[in-house]
Amino acid sequence: MAAHAAFSAATAESGPASQTERWPVRIVGAGAGDAGDLTLRALAAIQEADVVFYDDLVDASILDLIPKTARQVFVGKRAGKPSTDQQDIHALVTDAAAQGLRVVRLKGGDPFLFGRGSEEAEAFAAHGFASEVVPGLSAAFVCAAAVGIPLTDRRHAAQVTFITATRADGSLNALTGLAGAGRTLVIYMGARLTQRIAAALLDSGVTPDLPVAIIEHGGRAAQRVRQATVGALAGAAAVLRADGPALLIIGDVVRARVATARKPFALTGLELSHV
Ligand SMILES: C[S@@+](CC[C@H](N)C(=O)[O-])C[C@H]1O[C@@H](n2cnc3c(N)ncnc32)[C@H](O)[C@@H]1O
């Protein structure tokens, strides 16, 4: 609870912003890339906040858009250290809301896609605080656009599945029937498990030459893309493993990759207000 105590002490100095009605806690998707992927609704929420509780996957270019008058509280996971406990996050956020502050809970990508947005909304509601969810561009969309891989293409894939590599208990999610002809499979949180994923796909009957793209830090300055096949990946985990946030896109759409000229985004002088 150390982070919790620190936050309470610090906000007591700055004091709550004046407001006539209680704000909902805004659970805001920051998008998975840089500030260019922020929605206008998300930007307005950030600009109106008194305090922003943010995760580690939120890009620095987005944190730069938080007004200097607002407090920024990191509640993510720092290299090698455990994440802020989920219960502590709930306590920090509800404490701030109870002080009458305009609170933004800023999360990477979309809050409702592998983002625990619903767990947090439930916890805030249990403390008597309504929330408003602001969607964000999930990693699948940002990575696909950033590297030019269409998630669907009528010549290659008419369906797409988003899945996390593992279940809550750490075991690999079943992949049977999710990859192969006519389908795209997008795997979140699988960068360190590429060899096991590839082996599971081969066991499920996928052909070894099915292409895989590994996109690390998609849509950001540090972006790195590598391409392999399921067969090659089954034996090359050490070589192809990613250390930053990474997404696997698996399917014939990888071969349909188009050239894209996307560059990091620079934001100048944009101001919005929420009505
Ligand atoms: C806890 S999930 C959060 C997903 C997020 N809610 C979303 O909609 O993108 C974190 C995983 O998302 C993926 N991810 C998030 N940002 C990414 C990025 N910029 N590039 C590649 N993968 C990313 C990675 O698989 C990472 O391990």
Extract the tokens encoding 205.
């009957």
Order of strands across the sheet with 224-229? 157-164, 182-188, 246-250, 211-216, 224-229
Q: Which atom of ligand 1 is nearest to the CA of 112?
A: 6
Kindly state whether residues 78 and 132 are assigned to the same domain.
yes
Kindly state whether residues 76 and 174 are assigned to the same domain.
no
The residues that are catalytic are 55, 77
Strand 131-134 relative to strand 211-216, pairing: unpaired
User: Given this model, what pLDDT does residue 168 score?
Assistant: 87
Q: How far is CA 196 from CA 107, 172, 179, 189, 231, in A?
A: 28, 8, 15, 13, 12
Kindly state whether residues 146 and 129 are assigned to the same domain.
no
Cβ atoms of 79 and 65 within 8 Å: the answer is no
Q: Which atom of ligand 1 is nearest to the CA of 110?
A: 8
Kindly state whether residues 112 and 227 are assigned to the same domain.
no
For ligand 1, the distance from its centroid to the CA atom of residue 22, given in whole angstroms, is: 32
User: Given this model, what pLDDT does residue 6 score?
Assistant: 47
Cβ atoms of 3 and 84 within 8 Å: the answer is yes
Give domain status of residue 224, yes or no.
yes
Ligand 1 binding pocket, CB closer than 6 Å: 32-33, 57, 108-110, 113-115, 138-139, 143, 188-189, 215, 217-220, 245-247
Give domain status of residue 109, yes or no.
yes
- Site to substitute for ligand 1 among 38, 57, 249, most atoms within 8 A of C-beta: 57
Q: For residue 214, what is the domain's CATH number?
A: 3.30.950.10
Q: For residue 69, what is the domain's CATH number?
A: 3.40.1010.10
For ligand 1, the distance from its centroid to the CA atom of residue 31, given in whole angstroms, is: 9
Kindly state whether residues 241 and 198 are assigned to the same domain.
yes
Of 137, 167, 194, which marks where a domain is finished?
137
For ligand 1, the distance from its centroid to the CA atom of residue 212, given in whole angstroms, is: 17
Structurally, the chain folds into a number of domains equal to 2
For ligand 1, the distance from its centroid to the CA atom of residue 115, given in whole angstroms, is: 9
User: Given this model, what pLDDT does residue 261 score?
Assistant: 85
Of 91, 115, 137, which marks where a domain is finished?
137
Ligand 1 atom 27 nearest Cα: 189
Per-residue pLDDT of the chain (275 residues; tens, 9 = 90+): 444 444 554 444 444 444 446 789 999 999 999 999 999 999 999 999 999 999 999 999 999 999 999 999 999 976 556 677 889 999 999 999 999 999 999 999 999 999 999 999 999 999 999 999 999 999 999 999 999 999 999 999 999 999 999 998 999 999 999 999 999 999 999 988 999 999 999 999 999 999 999 999 999 999 999 999 999 999 876 666 677 899 999 999 999 999 988 877 776 666 666 55
Of 137, 169, 192, which marks where a domain is finished?
137
For ligand 1, the distance from its centroid to the CA atom of residue 161, given in whole angstroms, is: 15
**Radius of gyration of the CA atoms of the chain, in A:** 20
Domain that holds residue 10: 2-137
Residue 147 CA to residue 134 CA, distance in Å, equals 25
Kindly state whether residues 74 and 85 are assigned to the same domain.
yes
Q: Which atom of ligand 1 is nearest to the CA of 191?
A: 25
- Site to substitute for ligand 1 among 247, 248, 249, 262, most atoms within 8 A of C-beta: 247
Q: Which atom of ligand 1 is nearest to the CA of 218?
A: 20
